[in-house]
């Protein structure tokens, strides 16, 4: 899953953070393709965990600052993702994963960045809260 214009929101800080998330997914796909083993996949997931937490906190602070009406639903998406990611990390360590990690991350990131984060970015830009890229 390469970075492309589909994921560009026009807010440099958010775009930079989303690039990091997508780079983690690329690393995970490479580790799986190279059959690098569950531990290598686990390390990438822990990195994704750290990057995504920072990304989510930044977004949610901006939502509070600018009274984004979709905050509760958006924050729930973040919380659900964080919980699922931890479950997947545990599964990787127990060798129980059968390709579901890759599919889940790909689908979630595409949907969340492409739809939910785009909606929030449009709100910030329309409100004049942040200068576009
Ligand atoms: Fe988000």
CB neighbour class for 43 (10 Å; exposed up to 12, middle 13-18, buried from 19): middle
**CATH number of this structure's domain 8-126:** 1.20.120.50
Task: Compute the distance from residue 116 Cα to the ligand 1 centre, in Å.
Answer: 6
For ligand 1, the distance from its centroid to the CA atom of residue 19, given in whole angstroms, is 13
74-90 pLDDT tens trace: 999 999 999 999 998 88
What is the rounded CA–CA span in Å between residue 41 and residue 102? 10
Q: Ligand 1 centroid vs 79 CA: distance in angstroms?
A: 10
57 CA distance to ligand 1 centroid (A)? 9
pTM > 0.85: yes or no: yes
Q: What is the pLDDT of residue 26?
A: 92
> Where are the chain's structural domains?
8-126
Please choose, from the candidates 78, 75, 70, 63, the residue with its C-alpha nearest in 3D space to the C-alpha of residue 130.
Answer: 63
CA–CA dist 125, 10 (Å, integer): 9
């Amino acid at each position: 899953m390469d970075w492309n214009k589909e994921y560009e929101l026009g807010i440099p800080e958010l775009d930079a953070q989303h690039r990091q998330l997508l780079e983690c997914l690329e690393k995970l796909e490479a580790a799986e393709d190279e059959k690098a083993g569950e531990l290598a996949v686990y390390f990438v997931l822990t990195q994704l965990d750290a990057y995504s937490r920072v990304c989510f906190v930044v977004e949610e602070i901006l939502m509070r600052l600018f009274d984004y009406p979709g905050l509760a639903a958006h924050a729930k998406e973040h919380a659900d993702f964080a919980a699922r990611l931890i479950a997947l990390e545990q599964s990787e360590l127990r060798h129980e994963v059968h390709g579901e990690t890759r599919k889940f991350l790909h689908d979630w990131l595409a949907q969340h960045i492409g739809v939910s984060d785009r909606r929030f970015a449009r709100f910030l830009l329309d409100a004049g809260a942040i200068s576009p890229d």
